[in-house]
Amino acid sequence: MQLVSTVAEWRKLRATYRQGGRRVGFVPTMGALHAGHRSLIEAARRDCDVVVVSIFVNPLQFDETQDFESYPRPHDADQRLLAAAGVDVVFVPKVSEMYPNGKNFTVQEDALSRELCGAHRPGHFTGVLTVVLKLLQIAAADRAYFGEKDYQQLQLVRGMVAAFFIETEIVGCPTVREPDGLALSSRNTRLSPAERELAAQFSAILQTAPNTDKAQQQLSAKGFAVDYIEDRAERRLGAVRLGATRLIDNVTR
């Protein structure tokens, strides 16, 4: 497994892979890796000859400086997981590498990004789309893998890729869950033991409530602060808070 920290280093490697006709699969992450990330890596491993994972905690997508600074960064554990999963290259750029011009240039979407999570986190998806566009341009991969847990993000990334004629195929992968149904997330580590026990009710109520009003009532009654529960096409999407932790999820209907 090779560790690279600059765009120039990766481009040299990428050129050798291209010359050899090797397909590149890319998994962008913010670290604090878990089995959900590993499932994306495994999908890339099945499809591609070379698997590249980026670890970059993107400051542009955080609402609060405190949230950015407290985001978990378990470097050693992440490296062990990546090595065990058979990753070929890990791209770990600094903020100055990803934002050489600061925040002067960003990507803004003016419809879906303002709804659902976007309505509760203004500017969040501008940060997400900006860094994903940069990473896709840098990686120049054949395929890039994203989890369906972040379903709104997945749809926005697909829309951006189509709008900007990016040749990388975006592959959505199923949400990975704990045995009790809680969707895996790096933020789950912030839950207290009591909050963690309660958190499993989130996905259960999304799946079983007859409509969104009932789902919101049931969640509120159990102590969740509900940002939204909405039905969109074949999905029911929701975002809630337990203490200081925000959880998102979606289920098929």
Active centre residues (catalytic) = 37
Please tell me the distance from the alpha carbon of residue 195 to that of residue 224, in angstroms, as a whole number.
Answer: 10
Q: CA end-to-end span of the chain, whole Å?
A: 41
Return the axis-axis angle of helices 7-19 and 124-139, rounded to nearest 10°.
Answer: 50
Helix (H) or strand (E) holding 18: helix 7-19
Q: 114: which 2 tokens?
A: 């303002």
In 3D, which of 132, 155, 109 has the Cα closest to residue 58? 132
Tell me the residue ranges of DSSP E strands in 43-122.
50-55, 89-91
Please tell me the distance from the alpha carbon of residue 116 to that of residue 111, in angstroms, as a whole number.
Answer: 11
Please tell me the distance from the alpha carbon of residue 232 to that of residue 138, in angstroms, as a whole number.
Answer: 33
Tell me the residue ranges of DSSP E strands in 113-193.
143-147, 169-173
> Which amino acid type is present at position 197?
E
Please tell me the distance from the alpha carbon of residue 250 to that of residue 253, in angstroms, as a whole number.
Answer: 9
Contact 109, 160 (CB under 8 A): yes
